[in-house]
């Protein structure tokens, strides 16, 4: 049981870090060499907002797993609502799917840990 609990504890955290890095890769499109450093930085910051939101949700989930899990799920739903109709269905699964799965894993670990408490 300890191995399962440890896996349920670390998997959503690792997924969140990995997903924030994945989203951060999309910000690299601002480095095309056509702008000076200040303009590139000004273009980079808005592109990093999704990664920052994921890291903020991770920080919250680390402190309160259920709340953080709900925030991850809400981020996935918010992305679908924001981008609906702009991309093929696979895009929604690639972005919203990991967010929802991470949220579900945080909530699952919280429920598992609460059940084990005396």
DSSP string over 89-112: HHHHHHHHHHHHHHHHHHHHHHHH
Sort residue 31 into left (φ over 0), alpha (ψ -120 to 50) or beta. beta
pLDDT digits (tens, 9 = 90+) for 89-107: 999 999 999 999 999 999 9
pLDDT digits (tens, 9 = 90+) for 33-67: 777 888 888 888 999 999 999 999 999 999 999 99
Cα–Cα distances (Å) from 10 to 76, 88, 95, in that order, read: 20, 31, 20
């Amino acid at each position: 049981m300890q191995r399962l609990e440890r896996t349920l504890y670390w998997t959503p955290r690792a997924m969140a870090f990995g997903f924030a890095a994945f989203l951060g890769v999309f910000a690299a499109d601002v480095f095309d060499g056509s702008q000076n450093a200040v303009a590139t930085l000004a273009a980079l910051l808005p592109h990093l907002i999704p990664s920052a939101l994921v890291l903020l949700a991770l920080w919250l989930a680390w402190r309160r797993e259920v709340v953080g899990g709900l925030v991850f799920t809400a981020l996935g739903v918010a992305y679908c609502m924001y981008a609906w109709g702009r991309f093929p269905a696979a895009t929604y699964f690639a972005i919203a799917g990991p967010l929802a799965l991470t949220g579900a894993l945080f909530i699952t670990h919280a429920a598992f840990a609460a059940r084990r408490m005396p």
